[in-house]
Amino acid sequence: MPRESWPLLALLSALTLLLLAGADAWRRNANHAERARMHGVLTQLTGSSDLALSSSSRWLRNPTLVEPAAAAADAPAILDTDPAGALIPPEPTVLGQSARSLRSMPATSTRHRRPR
Amino acid sequence: MKAHVARFRFALGACARRAGRTASMMVGLAFITALFAAVVFLTDALRHEARLGIGELPDLMVQRTVAGRPALLDAAHVSSLTAMRGVRSVTPRVWGYLYVPSLEANLTVVALSVSPDASLALEGRLPRDAEDVVVGQALAERLGLRIGDEVALPAAERYQLVRVVGLFRSATALRTADVVLAREPLARALLGVPDGAYTDLAVALSVADEAPVVANRAAALFPGARVLQRSLLERTHALTFDARGGMLSVLLLPALAALLLLAWDRLTGLGEVERREIGILKAVGWQTREVLEVRVYEQLVVALTGASLGVALAYFYVFWLGAPGMAGALFGWSALYPELQLTPSVDASAPLSVLAAVVLPYVAVGLVPALHAALLDPLDAQRGRT
C-alpha cells in the first residue's frame, strides 16, 4: 500500500473500531429480556428502582423517594455537594462521619469539649 | 461518480502530504470526542439501568410527614387507603437506613413484603427464618461474609445477630450493593420501627391511568402526606442522570471550542505549498466547485477519523474499564460503592449525536477557509499572492 494512503487506512481503522464497539454493545445486550426480568424482581424485593450509588448519604441513596427534610429535597438531581462531585474522593474517615459516630467519639482534648 | 472518487483520492493524498497537521487534528478531535462520548455513554447506561426496574414499581407510594419531617404511618392509614375507590391493594412497607460504625457506611435495610422467584437476582434463598438476611455483594465483601455466616449488626437498641442465607448476584450490584433484605420483624428490630408502624405504603390501582386522581384524593385524606406517582419517579431518574451528565458536558464545551478555534486558525492559514497546489489545479481547468469539494473531503476524512476513534475509545473506557476517574466525579463516592458493570443501551442516537456534534462544527469551520482557497486566482496563487 503506498505511503500516501495512510489517511484512508486511519479512517477505515477508526470506522472498524466503531463497528467493533457496536458489535460488543449488541453482544452485551443479547440477554436484555433476562436482565429486565432480574431488575423487575429486584424492584419487587427492594421496593425501589434507585441505584446504590451514594449510600453514604441517605438523601442521595433514594433520590426518587427523597424526603422533605433532606438536604436535596427540592433538587434531587443537583450535583452531590456531600460527599460527591469531586474528582478526588474525600478521606474515608471524613466520608464515614455522621452525627451518630461523632456522638460516640470520645473527646480527645479539653479544647474540643463542649461547655456544660 | 468516477470524478467524485478521483477527487476523494486527491483529498486523501493532500491529507497525507500534510501529515503533521492531519494527524494532530485527528488526535485532538479523538480526545475531545472521547471525553464527550464517555459522559454520554455513562449517563445513558445508568439511566437505562434505572429504567429497567421501573415497570415493577407500585402505581403510588404514600409517605407521611409531620412538621415537615418524615413520619411513620399506621394501620389506620392502610385501611383508609384500602377503602378508597380505585385502589386495588395497599402494601405497607418497612425500610430505612442503618448506620454501621465499623463500615462507616449506611446500609439500606428492607423488609421482605413479597416473595417472587428470586433465583435470577440472588444466590442462596430468600429469608425464611427470623434471623435470615440476604445482603448485597459490596457489603458482603466489606464484611467478608459468605452464605451461612452469622454477623452482629448494630440495631437501634442492641446488636442483632443475623444469618446470611443469600447474596445478591454481582450483576445486581448497581441496585443492591448496600442492601440488607430481611423478614419484617428483623427489619423492625434493626431499624427501631415499632410494631404496627410503617415507613411508607405501596398502592396498586385498578386502573393505572387514574393515578393522578387517586393521588389527589389520598393527599386530601392525609394532610401532610407525600404521594409519589410512578411517572414522577421516572422523571426523577431521568433528571438525576441528565443533570449530572449535562453539567459535565457543559464543562467540556470550552475544550471543544478551543479545538475548533485552533482548527479555524490552522485552516485559514494557507501554506505556500497549498496555495501553489490550488493555483496549479485551477490552471489545469479545475472549477471553484471542484476545489471546494476536495477541501470538504479533506475536512471530512480528518473529522470522521478523529470522531470515530474518539467514540470507540470512549466505549472501551466506559464499558471495559468502568470509567475510572469520571464515574466517581459523576455519581458520587459512597462508602459501599458498587462495581460498575454497565451495559450499553443499544441506541445509535447517542454515538451518532456525539459524532454529529464534533464532525459538523469541524467541517463547518473549514468551509469558509475552503471557499477562500477555492476562489484564489490561479496566477496569484502560483505567484504567492492572496
Residue B304 is predicted with a pLDDT of: 92
> Is residue B170 domain-shared with residue B257, that is, in the same domain?
no
- Residue A47 is nearest to which of B17, B95, B333, comparing CB atoms? B95
Q: CA-to-CA distance for A4 and A8, rounded, in angstroms?
A: 9
What is the residue type of B354? V
Q: CA-to-CA distance for B326 and B322, rounded, in angstroms?
A: 9
> Is residue B128 domain-shared with residue B251, that is, in the same domain?
no
On whether any CB of chain A is under 8 Å from the CB of B41, the answer is no
Residue B171 is predicted with a pLDDT of: 87
Which residue does chain A place closest to B312, by CA atoms?
A18
> Is residue B284 domain-shared with residue B354, that is, in the same domain?
yes
Beta bridge mates, B181: B110, B134
pLDDT along chain B (386 residues), means of 10: 87 87 89 88 83 87 86 92 92 92 86 87 92 93 92 89 94 89 95 94 92 89 85 75 71 77 70 76 85 87 92 93 78 68 77 82 78 76 64
Residue B68 CB neighbours (<10 A): 11
Cell 410527614 -> residue: B65
Residue B92 is predicted with a pLDDT of: 95
> Is residue B245 domain-shared with residue B342, that is, in the same domain?
yes
Residue A65 has pLDDT above 90, yes or no: no
Chain B residues in contact with A98 by the CB 8 A cut-off are: 99
Give domain status of residue B202, yes or no: no
> Is residue B243 domain-shared with residue B187, that is, in the same domain?
no
Distances (CA, A) of B24 to B27, B303, B310: 5, 11, 14
Give domain status of residue B129, yes or no: yes
- Residue B240 is nearest to which of A26, A63, A96, comparing CB atoms? A63
On whether any CB of chain B is under 8 Å from the CB of A71, the answer is no
Phi–psi pair at A92, nearest 5 degrees? -55, -35
Beta bridge mates, B153: B160
Range of the domain at B132: 97-192
Which of A87, A80, A108, A83 shows the shortest CA–CA distance to A96? Answer: A83
Give domain status of residue B133, yes or no: yes
Distances (CA, A) of B255 to A66, B101, B107, B251, B360: 35, 43, 40, 8, 16
Do residues B93 and B201 touch, judged by C-beta distance below 8 A? Answer: yes
Q: CA-to-CA distance for B82 and B105, rounded, in angstroms?
A: 37
Give domain status of residue B253, yes or no: yes
- Residue B123 sits in a domain of what CATH number? 2.40.40
Compare B143 and A107 and report the one with higher pLDDT.
B143
How many domains does chain B fold into? 2
- Give contacts of B 255-284 with A, CB under 8 A: none
Residue A113 has pLDDT above 50, yes or no: no
Confidence band of A106 (pLDDT split at 50, 70, 90): very low
Residue B264 is predicted with a pLDDT of: 73
Q: CA-to-CA distance for B349 and B147, rounded, in angstroms?
A: 43
Residue A92 has pLDDT above 80, yes or no: no
> Is residue B288 domain-shared with residue B375, that is, in the same domain?
yes
Residue A96 is predicted with a pLDDT of: 55
> Is residue B310 domain-shared with residue B183, that is, in the same domain?
no
DSSP H or E segment with residue B301: helix B288-315
Across A25-37, average pLDDT: 87
Residue A86 is predicted with a pLDDT of: 56
Residue A102 is predicted with a pLDDT of: 46
Residue B355 is predicted with a pLDDT of: 81
DSSP state of B59: S
Confidence band of A107 (pLDDT split at 50, 70, 90): very low
Give domain status of residue B81, yes or no: no
Compare A14 and A108 and report the one with higher pLDDT.
A14
Residue B46 is predicted with a pLDDT of: 81
> Is residue B32 domain-shared with residue B109, that is, in the same domain?
no
Q: How distant is the Cα of B71 from the closest Cα of chain A, in angstroms? A: 10
Sign of the torsion formed by the C-alpha atoms of B201, B202, B205 and B209: positive
CB contact under 8 A, B333 and A63: no
CB contact under 8 A, B22 and A39: no
Give the cell for residue B296: 470538504
Q: Which of B157, B192, B227 is the last residue of a domain?
A: B192
Residue B230 is predicted with a pLDDT of: 85
Give domain status of residue B306, yes or no: yes
Is residue B87 classed as helix, strand or coil in its secondary structure?
A: strand
Residue B101 is predicted with a pLDDT of: 83
CB contact under 8 A, B247 and A101: no
> Is residue B372 domain-shared with residue B252, that is, in the same domain?
yes
> Is residue B108 domain-shared with residue B178, that is, in the same domain?
yes
DSSP state of B194: P
Give domain status of residue B291, yes or no: yes
Chain B residues in contact with A55 by the CB 8 A cut-off are: 105-108, 177-178, 334-337
CB contact under 8 A, B120 and A25: no
Residue A22 has pLDDT above 80, yes or no: yes
Residue B129 is predicted with a pLDDT of: 92
Provide the whole-model pTM: 0.76
> Is residue B269 domain-shared with residue B379, that is, in the same domain?
yes
Strands B105-111 and B179-182: parallel
Q: CA-to-CA distance for B108 and A32, rounded, in angstroms?
A: 27
Confidence band of A34 (pLDDT split at 50, 70, 90): confident
Is residue B88 classed as helix, strand or coil in its secondary structure?
A: strand
Q: Which of B192, B221, B256 is the last residue of a domain?
A: B192
Q: What is the DSSP string of B157-209?
A: SSEEEEEEEEEE-GGGHHHHTTEEEE-HHHHHHHHTPPTTEESEEEEEESSGG
Give domain status of residue B273, yes or no: yes
Confidence band of A115 (pLDDT split at 50, 70, 90): very low
> Is residue B255 domain-shared with residue B317, that is, in the same domain?
yes
Confidence band of A112 (pLDDT split at 50, 70, 90): very low
Strands B73-74 and B197-198: antiparallel
Q: Which of B169, B192, B215 is the last residue of a domain?
A: B192
